[in-house]
Amino acid sequence: MPYFVAALLALGLVAGLLTPAMDIDAAQYAAIAMEMLDRGSWLQVTERGVPYLDKPPLVFWTAAASYAVFGVSDWAYKLPSLLALAGAVWSTGRLAGTLSGDDDTARLARWVLGSSVATMLMVADPRTDTLLMAGVAFATWQGAAWLRGGQPSHLAWCAVGIAVGLLAKGPIGLVAPVAALGVDVLVHARWRRLATARLLVVPAIVALALAPMCWGLWQQFGGRGLTFYFWTQSFGRVTGSNAWRNDAGPLFFTHTFLWVFLPWAPLVVWRLAQVAGAMRRGAGWWRDEALAVGGFLLLFAAISASRYKLPHYAYVLLPFAAVLAARVLRERGASLARGWRVAVVGQAWLLPAAGLALAAWAFAPLPWWGWAAASVGVGLGWWVRRAESPWRLAYLAATGVGLGGLLLNGISAPRLFAYQAETRAGALVREAGVPSGAFVAVAHHRPSLDFAARRVVPDVADVAAAAALVQQAPGGLWVYVRAAQGDSLARLAARAETVATFEKFGVSRMNGRFLNPASRGATVEPWVLLRLGGPAREARPLGGRNEPAAAAIPSPR
């Protein structure tokens, strides 16, 4: 039974692995990693040839390494995030087992983290935070094992996990495990474990792991690069020395956590309330969960203090949240109140309901295999009701999330990404074999265009500049441009043809008007891919609104 549920979850994740990289962040990181591989310089990071100073290099290193093995593709970019997610799920289970001494709690923690809404997002739209979460979960597990009498190797591996977190997201990779482990030391008075020279192995390993990155930053930016990495990028968002801010408010992660960690967030809230009550009454059972509670609350406060907040920043909380939810499932089992069980299962099955609604209405029609998958998923959900508690609840929730991920990532996402016009245009140019110097964009830059075209696409200022370039491209110039500008550009060129037309929409900013087929036309913008100069061909009308699917690809020669 659990193997079938795990297979459904895996299908939902693999479907997300096969979708295009989304603008802005994921496509940007994918393009930077592609550029890193092309340049052969792994220590100095550039974006479109310009030195890049924003994120640590681990996401670029792992993606570039994946490209080197499997070739440059969307799924090769996402593969390291899928592997990091697997590592985080495994480490979270080991952390739960270390804290509780119970194998069932460990397995439940894996099911909880692996069947959260966040896991589907982590693979479909990978960011640096998945790597951070994996490093934090691994470091905390190894550190907790060492504090409980483990071997020196646990301490060394804890340092490796800290280094992964630092290379993934910056100082939060150190702050997160140290905060959680510090609470554990404080509550359980494990001071003697800290009175050893063996602790020096941690800064030694971390410094060794960070040395290549620091050398690259020094070569590119001097001391400013190191200051940015160790202070401005993270702590500066709290102190105000970092200019990035979106004024999301101090309670942003309160509601964000509730949907990111669906369907398990209600159990975490309940557990935190139980711990607060136990502390007031003087009950001592909460001490066994001090590490998870302290890690969750301290990190929640830390990211809430940032002046720039995005939903994926909450991923670092999830290993600790999974441990808390797993303890509830293990202890309460069949005695868990019906209302809580309905809340968890109901929220989990909202995901396939949303998937069916999007596939059958917003991006109709729903293919036959979508109905088949939904039927199989519902049948599997009915079958797992036979499992004993607390596994029944875990399997039911995981089945709903897995089916929802499969429907959303497998059916709706490909149709949605038809409106990420840059990906379609870049793919057409790449498949047609257009030379690097024969493709430009007019007054536009999105990372997905570079990544899909497998090159840095020159961005010219206006139509006149593009027309002037036609004379320098004897084999013809391909241009990605707004449809209205395309009309003007075609009149300035000697010969012009429309390769394809697109309806463009920023897919990361979905809203009701776009999802509604009746009002979608008012939200999209027409863009065209033109070929100017070269052998004369029969041209098609410019600037019309066609379906998002691109037209046939003419030969570039």
Quick one: pLDDT at residue 208?
97
Quick one: pLDDT at residue 178?
96
Burial of 119 (0-12, 13-18, 19+ CB in 10 A): buried
447-493 pLDDT, tens digit each: 999 999 999 999 998 888 888 888 777 778 999 999 988 888 887 77
Give the Cα separation of 291 and 287 in Å (integer).
Answer: 8
231-277 pLDDT, tens digit each: 888 776 665 556 666 667 788 999 999 999 999 999 999 999 999 99
231-244 pLDDT, tens digit each: 888 776 665 556 66
12-33 pLDDT, tens digit each: 999 999 999 998 899 999 999 9
The larger pLDDT score, comparing residue 335 to residue 62, is at 62
Q: Flag the least confident range among 30-34, 314-318, 383-387, 537-541.
A: 537-541
412-431 pLDDT, tens digit each: 999 999 999 999 999 999 99
Q: What percent of the chain has pLDDT over 90?
A: 70
Quick one: pLDDT at residue 554?
34
Burial of 42 (0-12, 13-18, 19+ CB in 10 A): middle
Q: Flag the least confident range among 164-178, 233-247, 356-370, 440-454.
A: 233-247
Among 155, 108, 186, smallest CA distance to 391 is for 108
Q: Flag the least confident range among 15-19, 314-318, 338-342.
A: 338-342
Mean pLDDT of 64-78: 97
CB neighbour list of residue 46: distance below 8 Å, 6 or more residues apart: 32, 35, 36, 39, 52
For the chain, the straight-line distance linking the first and the last C-alpha, in angstroms and rounded, comes to 56
Quick one: pLDDT at residue 510?
85
Average pLDDT, the chain: 89
User: What is the token pair recorded at 268?
Assistant: 């975490």
Q: Flag the least confident range among 52-61, 243-252, 274-283, 324-333.
A: 243-252
